[in-house]
Amino acid sequence: MNLVTEKPVKSPAAIKVLVIDDSAVVRNLLTRELSKDPMINVIATAADPFIARDKIVMLKPDVITLDVEMPRMDGITFLRKLMAHMPMPVVVVSSLTGEGTQTALEAMSAGAVEVVCKPGSAYSIENLSAVLIEKVKSASKARIRGVANLPPARTTPKQPLSATSMAATTDKVIALGASTGGVQALTEVISNLPVTSPGVVVVQHMPARFTQSFAERLNESCAIQVKEAAHNDTVIPGRVLLAPGGFHMLLRRSGARYYVEVVDGPDVHHQKPSVDVLFQSVAKYAGANAVGAILTGMGADGADGLLAMRNAGARTIAQDEATSIVFGMPMEAIKCGAAEKVLPLDEIAKAVLQLAKQAGK
């Protein structure tokens, strides 16, 4: 007797997904894990971009998962062609090798909206399903538009911060939080901050190692210094501290000195690092001397923290719907009254600097 395994019935509104990976094992794994959710329908797989191209035209998927290191055509070239001719949400599925993280960041700069680590790296197979499903659902809600690539590398070496500035601190702090689409949004904001900017603390939802690579790429291109935060790093003018993936980052104050703690702990809003964790600490220790901005992202992480900042006297901003790739986090901040101003992305850098001058007065 032949036994037939029935496939789960999918909703007509299910998200149509195309899985692109040169490994048959990975294609099968991703298909199996995504298919566990009734709202996701894996309509096809492809072993390389050439096969994928024909299936995209024929099947019109809602979301693509993309391996960035593939034969015949690399994922970055494919992604740029896709965004030029048929833009759609793309989730990068990458290893955590040094080369892999750099390539995945190139993909996110070119327009990919989410990143997931392959099993055996940041996530076990047991955790992969929930993470991958959440990222695909988040990506399906994304508005795909022209992307802000990282600025070109600086032609002159960046001047190191002086010993004096390393010992001093600022009485103003800028706090930024982002998730889906945050690579592009943070690139836009941070690349427009001058070396005279107050110290900046940032949470971007991103796996371990990706945050280090992202910080290094921004540091090479921006006037302001950018680094992945380490425990007890001082918050000083001209420096951006990016929370490391897999850890929470909190602002602390000792006398006139602001510094950060990098700590482990449970996920908050299913995230680590969490924007809420950072913003709550900024509200407590910087209060009216802070400016907070919540940028594009799925979910509600950061809304309560931004409200706490506003209630403590800080100036607060939410990115507007028109320029957000995903409006979830800014929308939740606006709904709860946390945002003093709602601004398009290209006005946020100027606004945080202006509000920082007014903060505490």
Are residues 79 and 109 in contact, defined by beta-carbon separation less than 8 angstroms? no
- Residue 292 has φ and ψ, to the nearest 5°, of -120, 145
End-to-end Cα separation, the chain, in angstroms: 81
- Residue 248 has φ and ψ, to the nearest 5°, of -90, 150
Residue 179 appears among annotated catalytic residues: yes
Give the residue among 252, 228, 253 at the shortest CA–CA distance from 241: 228
Options 21, 37, 301, 320, the catalytic residue: 301
The four Cα atoms 185, 191, 195, 198 give a dihedral, to 10 degrees, of -10
Options 94, 95, 140, 205, the catalytic residue: 205
Options 179, 213, 221, 324, the catalytic residue: 179
Residue 205 appears among annotated catalytic residues: yes
CA distance 263 to 252: 12
CA atoms within 13 A on the CB side of 327: 11
CA distance 340 to 166: 32
Residue 95 appears among annotated catalytic residues: no
Sheet holding 114-117, edge to edge: 40-46, 15-20, 63-66, 90-94, 114-117
Are residues 252 and 258 in contact, defined by beta-carbon separation less than 8 angstroms? yes
Q: Write out the catalytic residue numbers.
A: 179, 205, 301
